[in-house]
Amino acid sequence: MKMTYVLPQTGSTENEEQENWDGRFGDFLIDLQTQEGLTDLTIRQLQLHLRAYDAWLKELGQCWTSARREDIQEYLQQVRDHRSASTLRSKLWSIRRLYAWAGENSIVTVPSCWLTVARRSYERKRMVVPSSRQLQQLLELPDTSTDKGLRDRAVLELLYATGMRAAEILSIKLHQLVKDRCLRIMGKGQVERLVVYGEEAAYWVAQYKAKRQGMLQAAGHSVIATQQLFVSMGKHAAYQYFELRRMICGYARRLNMKLTPHTLRHAFATHLYQGGAALRTIQLLLGHAQLTTSTIYISRKVEDDQKMIRTHHPRGESYKPYRRW
C-alpha cells in the first residue's frame, strides 16, 4: 500500500499549503524518513526548503524538474547574498538530496556541478557557552509555584543534565521514565542510546509529573491526549519545539544572554570536559558517531588550557608525579 505524506500543520490554510507543494515531494520525504530515520524537525525543515524553492521557480515559470542551471544558480546566489551561511548550507543540502533522489527514481537527472555556489568568506561564529554559574541562575528563574514554572524547570534541568537534543527531549514518553534515573531514547538517525541524569533533574521531573494531568485538563485537553512527558498549555497537547525555544530565549533575555535549546547541549559537553570527563565518555553521552563531532561541542578556554598545563605538565606549578610502582 502506497504511503501518503501529510503536510505538518502551520498557520496557513490547507489550500495555501497545497499550492506550492508537488506531490512528488511527499514521496521524497517519506523515502528519506523511512530509510534514514530523520527526525520530524529535520523533515519539517526540508519541507519548508522545498516549498520555498518550488515557489521561487514557479515565479520564473519553471518547475523543479525542468529547472536550468542558471535558474538553480541564481536561486542559490540569492540565498547566499541575503541569508546566513548556515541557511545556505541547509538549503543547498535539501536541494542536493532532492535531485539525488530524483535521479535514483528516474524523474530528472541534474549534474552535481549545477548544485554548487561560491561561499562568502566568513569567520565561523563560535558559540558562546554560558558558565556553570550562569546556568544555575537560568535554572532558578522559573516560578515553581506554578504548573508552567514546574514544567519549565523540569525541562531545563533535564536538558542541562543530559545534553539531549531538542527533538529527543520532546519525544520522551511517560513510560520511558524509570527509577534508575536513565532513559533509553532514539536519537538522530534512529540510533538508540542510554541517557542518564542526576538527582536534581529527577526531583524536578517528579514534581512536574505530579502536575502534568492538571495542566492538560486546564488547557482543555484529555488526560490521555498525548503520551509525551512534557505537555503544553496551548492548543497542542504535546509540548512543541517553538514553545521550548521561546521559553529558553525568554528566560535567557532576563539574564541578558542569548540561549537556545542547542546551547544547553553545548554547555553540557563543555562543563563535563571542564570537570575532567574523558572525550570518549562525552561522545557516548551526546550520541555522536564520530569523536571529532563531539569536540565541536566543547568550548575550550585559555584558562582551562593553562590549568591543564599547570597540573599535568612536569614544569607545571601544581604538577605531582604519578608513579605506577
pLDDT in tens, 167-217: 899 989 988 876 678 888 887 777 788 888 989 999 999 999 999 999 999
For 64-101, what is each residue's pLDDT tens digit?
A: 999 999 889 989 988 887 787 888 888 999 999 999 99
202 half-sphere exposure, CB direction, 13 A CA radius: 12
pLDDT band, very low/low/confident/very high, at 120 (cuts 50, 70, 90): low
Which residue of the set 91, 221, 271, 288 is catalytic? 288
- pLDDT at position 307 is 64
288 in active site: yes
262 in active site: yes
- pLDDT at position 211 is 94
pTM: 0.64
Q: Please determine, for residue 8, whether its predicted confidence score (pLDDT) is greater than 50.
A: no
Q: Give the start-end residues of each E strand in the chain.
A: 182-186, 192-196
Which residue of the set 80, 151, 153, 165 is catalytic? 165
pLDDT band, very low/low/confident/very high, at 145 (cuts 50, 70, 90): very high
Question: Cell numbers 532514539 label which residue?
Answer: 186
65 DSSP assignment: T
| 115-121 contacts at long range (C-beta below 8 A, 24 or more positions apart) | 115/72, 115/76, 117/73, 117/76, 117/77, 117/79, 117/80, 117/88, 117/92, 118/80, 119/80, 119/85, 119/88, 120/80, 120/85
Q: Please determine, for residue 232, whether its predicted confidence score (pLDDT) is greater than 70.
A: yes
pLDDT band, very low/low/confident/very high, at 15 (cuts 50, 70, 90): very low
Taking residues 120-132, report their average pLDDT: 68
Q: Which of 32-41, 52-61, 159-168 has the highest mean pLDDT?
A: 159-168
Which residue of the set 148, 181, 188, 307 is catalytic? 188
Q: Worst-scoring range by mean pLDDT, 61-65, 93-97, 124-128?
A: 124-128
Q: Which three cell numbers stand for residue 273?
A: 570536559
Q: Please determine, for residue 257, whether its predicted confidence score (pLDDT) is greater than 90.
A: yes
CB-based contact 299:305 (threshold 8 Å): no
Pairing of strands 182-186, 192-196: antiparallel
For CA atoms 60, 61, 62, 63, the dihedral sign is: positive
- pLDDT at position 259 is 92
Taking residues 41-62, report their average pLDDT: 88
Residue ranges and CATH numbers for the domains of the chain are 14-114 (1.10.150), 132-308 (1.10.443.10)
What is the share, in percent, of the chain residues with pLDDT greater than 90? 38
Coil, helix or strand at residue 238:
strand
Q: Please determine, for residue 11, whether its predicted confidence score (pLDDT) is greater than 70.
A: no
- pLDDT at position 3 is 46
Taking residues 300-308, report their average pLDDT: 57
Identify which of 212, 215, 182 has the alpha carbon closest to the alpha carbon of residue 196: 182
CA dist 182 and 196 (Å) reads: 4
Q: Please determine, for residue 310, whether its predicted confidence score (pLDDT) is greater than 80.
A: no
102 half-sphere exposure, CB direction, 13 A CA radius: 21
Q: Give the start-end residues of each E strand in 119-266.
A: 182-186, 192-196
Which residue of the set 148, 193, 262, 307 is catalytic? 262
Which residues, other chains included, contact 30 with Cβ-Cβ below 8 Å and sequence gap of 6+?
Answer: 3, 5
Mean pLDDT estimate for the chain: 83
151 vs 192, more confident: 151
123 DSSP assignment: P
175 in active site: no
312 in active site: no
299 vs 18, more confident: 299
Which residue of the set 91, 265, 266, 271 is catalytic? 265
265 in active site: yes
Identify which of 268, 219, 231 has the alpha carbon closest to the alpha carbon of residue 150: 231
Q: Which three cell numbers stand for residue 82?
A: 541575503
